[in-house]
Each structure stands twice: as structure tokens, then as C-alpha cells.
Structure 1
Amino acid sequence: MGITFRPVTRDDFGLIGHWLAQAHVARWWAHETGPEAVERDFGPTVRGEEPNEDLIALDDGRPLGLCQRSFWASYPDEVAEFAPFLLVPPDAMTIDYLVGDPADVGRGRGSALVRALADDTLAGHPTCGQLLVPVAAGNVASQRVLEKAGFVFVTVARVEPDNPVDPPEQRVYRRLRT
């Protein structure tokens, strides 16, 4: 069966909050983890008010992690922020991901998740020509995951970091459809 994906529902909010509170996730995601915060951050997508997809990754039916994907063009402010460093074509999408359980970290599950997510995204979105994924320069583990999943380093962009403790450097990786 392998890794599959399903849309996040409200029933997943407790699990998402638990995952976001894990040290290996909290360092890079910098989200509040209480029920109100999870509802605030993930509720709009569940209700169809955000132009992105939030997904639960399942490994042989067991929840493995949280994934997000969207077209860059749906977020013009982010395209403008990266524009001095990188051409973001209108057909480009991005992904984000986390492996929730610390016991699954460091065992190749992240690379398998990202490879499956990239394949699923390209298959499910035929107008997507490429995936462009920025990663905090300090997040070496995520950079390795992307490289193992077939992504190639493109450039460094200096943008506002997701987590205020990080410097502005983001390493941008690409995977083309072909």
C-alpha cells in the first residue's frame, strides 16, 4: 500500500496539534499548538477558504505526517518576495511536510513521504510544471530529504523567515515534471 494521502478534517486537529508540539517539528514549523490555534491555522483550508491543500500522509494506513501543497500563484505576496532571487513560473507549486512521530524520524520515512507527495502532486495537478520548495538554510535534515526525493538545489533566497529565530536565507529546491 505504501504512503497515501487524504485531506485533513477537523477530526485530525488534535493529532496535528500533537505533532506541531513535537520538538523536531516545533523548531521548524513555529506554530501554536492549542485547539484554537490549530483551528485558526487549518480550519480555513478544511472549510475551502484557502487555495491550498492540507493532507494527512498515511503509511500503510497509519498517520505518518502532515503535508501541504499549493500553487505559488495563489500567494502573490510570496511570489513577489522570492522574485529577486528566482523566477517563479505560473505553473509552479510548492509543498511543505512534516513527519509527526519522533520514532519515524531518521528512518527514511521523510524522504519516502516527500517522494510520494511530489509524485502525487504532479499526478493530481496536471497543470503543474514544477515544484519549488524553499527550506530554511539551517534545516539540513529537510534539505537532505528533498535531495533524496529527487529535488535539485536551485538558489538561496533572502526572505522573511517562517520562524523569527532563523536567519533570512532559504535554500530553494526544484523538481521538474519530466
Structure 2
Amino acid sequence: MPPTDASANAATATATDADACTARGPAEVPGTDCEDTLDLRLPDEFLALIANETVGAAAQQSGVASRTQAGAGNPAQAVGVDGSARDDLLDTVADWGPVATPVGLFHLVPVRPERDLPLIGGWMNAPAVAEYWELDGPQNRTEDHVRAQLAGDGRCVPCLGVLDGVPMSYWEIYRADLDPVARHYPARPHDTGIHLLIGAAADRGRGLGSALLRSVADLALDKRPACARVIAEPDVRNAPSVSAFLSAGFRFSAEIDLPDKRAALMIRDRSLRDLM
């Protein structure tokens, strides 16, 4: 089941406590605000992905497909089943580099399973996270989820969030306009989505979430010139998480129904980034 927001106590947590973010899947879309209009033209990348499915399947069967994971010290670009750069769809997240934030030097580092899965699996079993991400339990449950992202075509890149040299969060940076969720909100070409969980309980509730959300959203806008918006879909029940997105410069656009939750569609616009 796809991930959602996590908060141990939505009633008492602070407004800057962004513990985890967003889910994706089929839904009926309610009315949205007048600022968002539906673009019915399928992105070129989406059409290319469909065209390449047969090529990718043939490559897998012949054993040609290969990929590499990126390490913290020496990021490497992953290779998809068709031999193309897997994370080109997101302008090579591995090369985005560190960014100075109000809470320290932050770096998105693409996940390397052998090194990172035990840590991520432990975070997923924290009650505050498990309630919403629903990836708790045996290690293979988290592993299957993460490896599926890594084995994909590059529309989603799972990362560790490293703050001042310490891994402290899990992120999924994804192409929202190429994701199934695009069928259920007024997507625009190159929309970039964010999923986030803050790993340690000690790091929650002290403003890290909103500071990092703002910094990563702005990093995506800086590194992806074609992207005009960064989106997220926190659970509407998780008021602290929604508040954290608002504090991070996102605006509330609409409520959307996803298979396992009702979500708040949050948007950070390039055109408004200096005003919010």
C-alpha cells in the first residue's frame, strides 16, 4: 500500500511536525480551486515510457537490463531496463548536491539497499510512521516497496535525507505527472511530488519537517527548470503535517480521495515561491 503521512498525535503535535507525506492511487476528484486547470495533453515522457515498455521487457528477458545504486560518498546514476539513465526523468537527483538550510547542511542521497534498508525498515516500524505508511512488520515489506522504486523507470527516486552528515529522514522524489495520481488531480507537465518521513522521534515536532520541506521543494524547482510546481498529498486527518506544508510555502489546493485516505493536495508554485 502506498505511503501516507505519519504523526503520533495529530491533536497535540506542533504545526511544524511533518513526519511523513503523501499517497498515490486511483480516486474520484472533487472540485479544485480555480487556479488549477486540467492539461489534457499527455506529457511526451509519458508517451515515450509507454512506447518503451516492450523494449524494456525484452531487455529484462535477455538479461541486458542493469542498474546501479548511488552511495553517499559517490553518487552513481542508475540505469533503466532500456539502457537509458533511469533518473533522467527527474534531472538526476543524485547530482542535486547538498543544500544549506536553516537547520543545517542537507543532502538527498539515493538509497543503496544493502546499506540503507535496515535503517529505513526500523523507521517504518515506529508507531507514528506505521499508522500512515503501513509498511511496518517484517523487513521484506519495506524492502519490497523500496526495491520496486529502485527497479522502476526513474519516475520515482527513493532517497535518504542526510542532515549535517547524519541520515535522519526518508524521501521519495517523483514525477507526479507520470504517476497514477495524475489521473486524479489537474496535473501539469513536470509536476514533481514529494513523500517524506522523519525517522527518529527526537527529530519530530521541532520544526525540522517544515524547514526541510521548503528547502527540498525549492531545490527541486532550482534543479528542474521545466517544473513549475511541487506537490504533496498529506492525509487530511494529519493537521500537523498539513500545517508543516503550509509553513513550508505550499498552498492548499483541494481535497482528493485516494484508495486509502482523503488527501490534502498541497502545491508549492515556482511563481509564488518568493511570496510564501
Q: Which TM class, normalised by the smaller chain length?
A: 0.7 to 0.9
Q: How does 1:113-132 map to 2 (within 5 A)?
A: 113-132=212-231
Letter in 1 for 2:110: P
- State the TM-score, normalizing by the size of structure 1: 0.86
Q: How does 1:17-96 map to 2 (within 5 A)?
A: 17-75=121-179, 77-80=180-183, 82-83=184-185, 87-96=186-195
CA distance in 2, matches of 1:43, 1:159: 23
The CA deviation string for residues 125-176 of structure 1, in whole angstroms up to 9 with x for no partner, is: 2221101211111011210110111001111112212xxxxxx421111101
- RMSD over aligned CA atoms reads 1.6
CA distance in 1, matches of 2:128, 2:209: 12
Could you tell me whether the CA contact under 8 Å between 2:106 and 2:163 is conserved in 1?
yes
Q: How does 1:115-154 map to 2 (within 5 A)?
A: 115-154=214-253
CA distance in 1, matches of 2:189, 2:175: 8
**Identity over aligned pairs, percent:** 25
User: In the alignment, does 2:275 pair up with 1:172?
Assistant: no
Could you tell me whether the CA contact under 8 Å between 1:9 and 1:46 is conserved in 2?
no
Give the unaligned 5+ runs of structure 1.
162-167
Give the unaligned 5+ runs of structure 2.
1-103, 272-276
Tell me the CA shift for residue 68 of structure 1: 0.7
CA distance in 2, matches of 1:123, 1:34: 38
The CA deviation string for residues 100-134 of structure 1, in whole angstroms up to 9 with x for no partner, is: 00011101111122112212222222221101211
Corresponding residue for residue 111 of structure 2: 8
SS in structure 2 at match of 1:2: strand
Could you tell me whether the CA contact under 8 Å between 1:57 and 1:113 is conserved in 2?
no
CA distance in 2, matches of 1:49, 1:173: 25
CA distance in 2, matches of 1:95, 1:176: 14
Pair member with larger Rg: 2
CA distance in 2, matches of 1:55, 1:124: 16
Corresponding residue for residue 165 of structure 1: none
Tell me the CA shift for residue 33 of structure 1: 4.1
CA distance in 2, matches of 1:106, 1:32: 22
User: In the alignment, does 2:214 pair up with 1:111?
Assistant: no
- State the TM-score, normalizing by the size of structure 2: 0.57
Could you tell me whether the CA contact under 8 Å between 1:28 and 1:139 is conserved in 2?
no
Tell me the CA shift for residue 19 of structure 1: 0.5
For these two proteins, the number of residue pairs brought into alignment is 167
CA distance in 2, matches of 1:42, 1:50: 13
CA distance in 1, matches of 2:166, 2:262: 34
